[in-house]
């Protein structure tokens, strides 16, 4: 049987927790569907003078706990289904770390690798302007995701600000520091992920210096995670990007890898390392595996062969529910995406607060607050998993869905 799509996966995860906590049927019915799905067709004049039209999406899954919050993805495989799944995961993620946001996601079907800077700017500005009445600091606040970055967030902020007539930093997070971005935001997803790993290592009485680490995906999340854990003494033995990976059991230097990738476009030919495919990389002998690329990479087909005994999901949705069960039965500690990568949206929340108040904090303060939130969320999830004898994804879902359900019950149904 084929592996489930991200949306099938997200709904299956939700169904499992709904059954486990005996979720009120009305709340269940409401949360199984998104609140709103926007589809926009974005015209862009390519450098050759011809106008091409790109399909874009923005989905709000739930705004019961606060404004819709979630990244924007530029990728050829983006679909309304995928964006809907990602928006659901954002609802749960914001609830796990208990920040006052709902869940959203956006995406445009495009291949930014084949587009010039000017074309990407045109795409971004027109996508934003098609959604100008949807985005806003109190309604819907985008952020970076796959193939989007601080420059793209700056264009969104500028387009929105021009429409309203004043500079509005609160409309988007992950911005450059110069226009109201937060110190620490760039590394926040990875730093948060590493905090959750350290919480787990503490409970297992293990030292970071004794761990070997494999990272799939070498963008914002993958690179920073490799860098931080390497600086703290762990040995990063393999990394990959969309074009494949490299492996050296004696350890690799994350900065050298980044420099090499920037110079050569991939890791191919990196000195002193063997080449591995993305499939082989996931099955390497190591202590900690950090999937930090795309969805559905750990499935029933390879879950039996994963050798890491800790998996920390930097990416959203890298594991199917069938694989969850296999990993749990095998005793693998598995920190789920809605906890492991929640550091990004947590510091996005701090960025939003700083932007609304026009009061900016030092990096130490941001990192200290991030650590507090991640530690607290990890404790809650760990305690539920121990008490209920469930895997950490189920525990995180119990926490998140219960919080969202309580918010919905207090607010009631309009009209
Ligand atoms: P990015 O665009 O900066 O990097 C993505 C990386 O994945 C690139 O190195 C790319 O080459 C690699 N990749 C793409 N397809 C691949 C494949 N098939 N096999 C292996 N590698 C592949 O994106 P990012 O922001 O680092 O996001 C990565 C993941 O983390 C996504 O699932 C995203 O939703 C999730 N995430 C990101 C943030 C954030 O703050 N950026 C926050 C939470 C979750």
Confirm or reject: Cβ of 4 under 6 Å from ligand 1: no
Confirm or reject: Cβ of 227 under 6 Å from ligand 1: no
Whose C-alpha lies nearest to ligand 1, atom 34?
316
Give the count of beta carbons closer than 10 Å to the beta carbon of residue 136: 17
Contact by Cβ (8 Å): 130, 56: yes
Confirm or reject: Cβ of 146 under 6 Å from ligand 1: yes
CATH number of this structure's domain 188-340:
3.40.50.720
Confirm or reject: Cβ of 315 under 6 Å from ligand 1: yes
Class of domain 35-169: alpha beta
CATH 3.40.50.10860 occupies which residues in the chain?
35-169
Where would I find the beta strands (DSSP E) of 170-251?
A: 212-216, 235-241, 244-247
Q: Which of 293, 295, 338, 348 to mutate to test the pocket of ligand 1 (most atoms within 8 A of CB)?
A: 293
| CA trace torsion 300, 305, 309, 311 (10° rounding) | -50
Quick one: pLDDT at residue 1?
74
Whose C-alpha lies nearest to ligand 1, atom 39?
145
Residue owning tokens 């494999």: 214
Whose C-alpha lies nearest to ligand 1, atom 17?
242
Whose C-alpha lies nearest to ligand 1, atom 14?
242
Residues taking part in catalysis:
105
Q: What is the rounded CA–CA span in Å between residue 267 and residue 198?
A: 28
Order of strands, sheet of 212-216, starting from the edge strand that comes earlier in the sequence: 274-276, 244-247, 235-241, 212-216, 288-291, 310-312, 333-335
Q: What is the rounded CA–CA span in Å between residue 191 and residue 257?
A: 19
Confirm or reject: Cβ of 218 under 6 Å from ligand 1: yes
Whose C-alpha lies nearest to ligand 1, atom 23?
146
Q: What is the rounded CA–CA span in Å between residue 143 and residue 106?
A: 9
Atom of ligand 1 nearest to the CA of 222: 26
Report cis status (omega within 30 of 0) of the bond before 259. Answer: no
Q: Which of 120, 145, 258, 344 to mutate to test the pocket of ligand 1 (most atoms within 8 A of CB)?
A: 145
Confirm or reject: Cβ of 341 under 6 Å from ligand 1: yes
Which residues of the chain are under the pLDDT cut of 50? none
Residues sharing a CB contact under 8 Å with residue 264, sequence separation 6 or more, in sequence order: none
Residues sharing a CB contact under 8 Å with residue 247, sequence separation 6 or more, in sequence order: 237, 238, 273, 274, 275, 276, 281, 284
CATH 3.40.50.720 occupies which residues in the chain?
188-340
Strand partners, 239: 215, 246
pLDDT, tens digit (0-9, with 9 covering 90-100), for 75-96 = 999 999 999 999 999 999 999 9
Quick one: pLDDT at residue 37?
98
């Amino acid at each position: 049987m084929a592996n489930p799509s991200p949306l099938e996966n997200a709904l299956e995860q939700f169904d499992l927790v709904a059954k486990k906590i005996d979720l009120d049927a009305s709340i269940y019915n409401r949360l199984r569907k998104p609140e709103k799905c926007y589809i926009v067709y974005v015209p862009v004049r390519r450098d050759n003078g011809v106008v091409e039209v790109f399909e874009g999406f923005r989905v709000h899954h739930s705004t019961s706990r606060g404004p819709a919050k979630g990244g924007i993805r530029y990728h050829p495989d983006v679909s309304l289904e995928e964006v809907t799944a990602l928006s659901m995961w954002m609802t749960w993620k914001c609830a796990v770390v208990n920040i006052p946001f709902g869940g959203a996601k956006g995406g445009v079907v495009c291949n930014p690798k084949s587009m010039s800077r000017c074309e990407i700017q045109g795409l971004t500005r027109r996508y934003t302007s098609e959604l100008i009445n949807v985005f806003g600091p109190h309604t819907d606040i985008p952020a970076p995701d796959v193939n989007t970055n601080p420059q793209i967030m700056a264009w969104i902020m500028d387009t929105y600000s021009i429409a309203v007539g004043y500079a509005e930093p609160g409309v988007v997070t992950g911005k450059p520091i110069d226009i109201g971005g937060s110190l620490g935001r760039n590394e926040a997803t990875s730093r948060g992920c590493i905090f959750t790993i350290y919480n787990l290592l503490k409970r297992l009485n293990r030292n970071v210096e004794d761990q070997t680490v494999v990272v799939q995906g070498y963008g914002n999340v993958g690179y920073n995670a490799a860098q931080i854990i390497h600086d703290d003494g762990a040995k990063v033995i393999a990394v990959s990007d969309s074009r494949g990976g490299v492996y050296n059991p004696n350890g690799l230097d994350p900065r050298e890898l980044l420099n090499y990738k920037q110079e050569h476009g991939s890791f191919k030919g990196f000195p002193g390392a063997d080449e591995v495919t993305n499939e082989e990389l996931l099955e390497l002998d190591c202590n900690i595996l950090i999937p930090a690329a795309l969805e559905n990479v750990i499935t029933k087909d390879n879950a039996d062969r994963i050798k890491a005994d800790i998996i920390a999901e930097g990416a959203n949705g890298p594991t199917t529910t069938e694989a969850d069960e296999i990993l749990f039965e095998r005793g693998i500690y598995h920190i789920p995406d809605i906890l492991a990568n929640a550091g990004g949206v947590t510091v996005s929340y701090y960025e939003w607060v700083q932007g609304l108040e026009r009061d900016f904090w030092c990096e130490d303060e941001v990192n200290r607050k991030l650590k507090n939130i991640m530690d607290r969320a990890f404790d809650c999830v760990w305690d539920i998993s121990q008490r209920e004898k469930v895997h950490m994804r189920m525990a995180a879902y119990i926490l998140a869905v219960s919080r969202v359900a309580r918010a919905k019950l207090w607010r009631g149904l309009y009209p």
